[in-house]
Structure 1
Amino acid sequence: MKVPFTWKVTGWFMVGWSAEFPQGEATPLRYFGEDLVAYRDDFGELHILTGHCRHLGAHIGHGGKVVGDCVECPFHGWRWGPDGRNKNIPGENRVNRGLRLRVYPVAEQHGCVFMWHQPDGAAPNWDMPDIFELFPEVGTAPTGYYRPYPEFSRKTEREPVHPQVALENGPDSLHFEYVHGATVTPQMLDWNEDGQTWSFLTGWPDARSDDPEKMALRIHAHMFGLGGSISAFEGSSKHRLIFCTTPVDDESSDMFYSIWWPRNPGDESEVPPPEVRERVEKQFLVTVWEDLSIWRYQEYVEHPPLSPKDAKPYMSLRKWATQFYDVPPPGLVGDHT
């Protein structure tokens, strides 16, 4: 997918689920065109660093070991700390203070792992919002839901979809009939942009009522930069979800989707029962992949002839998105890549 803006976006981006990063293991990742290593140290903290050792270039994520709060290169045993600095060189009583791996700040919450990315390595200038502190008036505490991973989580890799394109689905109400087979058209009840946040409220009219203002379902959504959106459902459904798109390179992204489904009354298990799993899988876990069948072959249109119903929020989102592009797209003068 060719877009008129960079894939090296600034913000918080999901890179996996906590259970995929066991304590004491090093894991290779690749995002934003960079090879990375993630490791959970012996104290339980998760770190993400540049993947290649600064000694002779071995990928630390492939065979690296965790020692204390450091990760050890599998080639010659050089150790690197969570601050990216060299902490040990085997056979020598010194460290190399001139070499350092880039550190990518990590935010881990409710079983999801997020990484901060800024093309020039600048520190985060806003916090990753807490999934359950948003929309406190909707739903229950985290303990009131079944675990999202692995039963209610999905990932698809190397898709030709830019993060902004995925988020543009938010203010697009008319596609529900054609892509998802909806029998009613949702209504954008409210939307707001505030700093790094673009939020909106969507209502699904109650088909059983003669009152056009009566909604069977309301969806509260919060976009945390271009990394993804967090939604809470109020009405006929009462679940929460997160949907994230993280660039792998300048052509593709990994996409993550997790649902928190309310526990059945009296059920204290974190694991959903078979009948709940079947319902969520058939009715809710498929919707994003229906959108993906469009995104995979979509061409980005810079000046679309939007319907009057969607034009204002749609263009608001596009204007809001420009703040997350700190570098130009590849090929332009001044490109950092």
Structure 2
Amino acid sequence: MKVPFTWRPTGWFMIGWSQEFPTGQARPLRYLGEDLVAYRGDDGALHVLQAHCRHLGAHLGHGGKVNGDCVECPFHGWIWGPDGRNRYIPYQDRPNRAAALRVYPVREQYGCVFLWHQPDGAAPSWEMPDIFRLYPQYETDPAAYYPPYPALSRKSQREPVHPQIPGENAADSMHFRYVHHATVTPVLLDWQADDHGWLFETGWPDRRSDDPNAMALRIHSYLFGLGGAISAFDGADNYRLIFATTPVEDGCSDMFYSIWWPRLPGDTAETPPADVLERLEKEFLSTLDDDLEIWRYQDYIEHPVMAVQDAKPYMAYRRWATQFYEIAPGE
């Protein structure tokens, strides 16, 4: 997908699930056009650094060792701290105090891992919203839900989808009928933006009611910059999900999808029963596949011809999204 803006926007982006980063293991990552190393120190804190040792360029994620809260280069044993600074050179009596790796701020929430990216390496200018406290009107205790990873999570890798595109879907209630086979036409009930977030509320009219304002389902979605959307579903089943898109490099992204499904009364298992899993796979987890059938082949129309009801929220979202592009395409 060719777009008239950069694939390296500013914001919080999901890079995986906490269980994928065990203590004592260095792991290579590739996101936002950069090689990264992620490691969890002995104290349990997760760190992400620029991947290549400043000595002779070895990749710390391929054979690197975790040493306390630091990572050790597999080539010559140089040790780098969570602040990116060189801490130790085994064959020299002092470290190179001027040498440093770029540090990427990390936040973990309820088993999901997010990384802050700003093209020039600036510190976070806003915080990742809390997945549960964002909607305090619904159950906020994570223990009341089945953990999303791994059974209720999906990852699709290197898809030709820019992160702005899934965000545009939130302004488009009509696509639910054609892409996701909704049996009624959903209604965009409300939309409003704050500085770095965008809130959409979509309703499914209740066909059993004569009241046109009666909704069988309401979806509240909060877009945290271009990184993804946190949603709460208010209907027969009250559940939560996160859908995140993270650029790998120009032209492709990884996409993450996790559902917090309400526990059945008295069930303490880590995953729902088999019949519930089958239903969730069929009705909910498959929605990412539905969208990808469109996005994989979609062209970005910079000046689209819009229907009357589409135009205002769609174009307002596009104007809001420009704040996250601090570099020009190709820089």
Shared fold by TM > 0.5? yes
The aligned residue for residue 82 of structure 1 is 82
Segment drifting more, 200-209 vs 60-69: 200-209
Q: How many angstroms does 1:279 deviate by?
A: 1.2
**CA RMSD of the aligned region, Å?**
0.9
Give me the whole-angstrom Cα distance separating, in 1, the residues matched to 2:309 and 2:184. 15
- The alignment partner of 2:249 has SS state of coil
Q: Is the 8 A contact 1:139 1:234 kept in 2?
A: no
Give me the whole-angstrom Cα distance separating, in 2, the residues matched to 1:139 and 1:91. 56
Q: How many angstroms does 1:140 deviate by?
A: 4.1
Whether 2:238 is the aligned partner of 1:238: answer yes
* Paired letter, 1:227: G
Q: How many angstroms does 1:141 deviate by?
A: 1.5
1:74-124 Cα offsets, whole Å, 9 max, x none, are 111111000000001112111111211000000001000000000000000
Q: How many angstroms does 1:223 deviate by?
A: 0.4
* Paired letter, 1:165: I
* Paired letter, 1:61: G
Segment drifting more, 305-314 vs 287-296: 305-314
Q: Structure 1 stretches (4+) deviating beyond 3 angstroms? A: none
Structure 2 stretches of 5 or more lacking a match? none
- The alignment partner of 1:317 has SS state of helix
- The alignment partner of 2:275 has SS state of helix
Q: Is the 8 A contact 1:145 1:270 kept in 2?
A: no
The aligned residue for residue 97 of structure 1 is 97
Instruction: Give TM-score scaled by structure 2 length.
Output: 0.98
Q: How many angstroms does 1:69 deviate by?
A: 0.5
- The alignment partner of 1:310 has SS state of helix
Q: Is the 8 A contact 2:42 2:68 kept in 1?
A: yes
- The alignment partner of 2:170 has SS state of coil
Q: Is the 8 A contact 2:227 2:244 kept in 1?
A: yes
Whether 2:207 is the aligned partner of 1:201: answer no
Give me the whole-angstrom Cα distance separating, in 2, the residues matched to 1:308 and 1:132. 35
Q: Is the 8 A contact 2:229 2:242 kept in 1?
A: yes
The aligned residue for residue 187 of structure 2 is 187
Instruction: Give TM-score scaled by structure 1 length.
Output: 0.97
Give me the whole-angstrom Cα distance separating, in 1, the residues matched to 2:208 and 2:151. 33
Q: Is the 8 A contact 2:41 2:68 kept in 1?
A: yes
The aligned residue for residue 45 of structure 1 is 45
Q: How many angstroms does 1:179 deviate by?
A: 1.0
Give me the whole-angstrom Cα distance separating, in 1, the residues matched to 2:200 and 2:294. 23
Q: How many angstroms does 1:209 deviate by?
A: 2.0
Whether 2:161 is the aligned partner of 1:161: answer yes
Give me the whole-angstrom Cα distance separating, in 2, the residues matched to 1:158 and 1:290. 17
1:113-147 Cα offsets, whole Å, 9 max, x none, are 00000000000000111100011102342110000
Give me the whole-angstrom Cα distance separating, in 1, the residues matched to 2:279 and 2:140. 20
The aligned residue for residue 143 of structure 2 is 143
Give me the whole-angstrom Cα distance separating, in 2, the residues matched to 1:294 and 1:139. 33
Q: Is the 8 A contact 1:29 1:37 kept in 2?
A: yes
The aligned residue for residue 293 of structure 2 is 293
The aligned residue for residue 314 of structure 1 is 314
Q: Is the 8 A contact 2:108 2:114 kept in 1?
A: yes
Identical pairs, percent:
68
- The alignment partner of 1:254 has SS state of strand
1:269-298 Cα offsets, whole Å, 9 max, x none, are 332221221111111000121001100010
Q: Is the 8 A contact 1:164 1:321 kept in 2?
A: yes
- The alignment partner of 2:146 has SS state of coil
Q: How many angstroms does 1:170 deviate by?
A: 0.4
Whether 2:121 is the aligned partner of 1:121: answer yes
- How many residue pairs were aligned? 331
Give me the whole-angstrom Cα distance separating, in 2, the residues matched to 1:214 and 1:110. 33
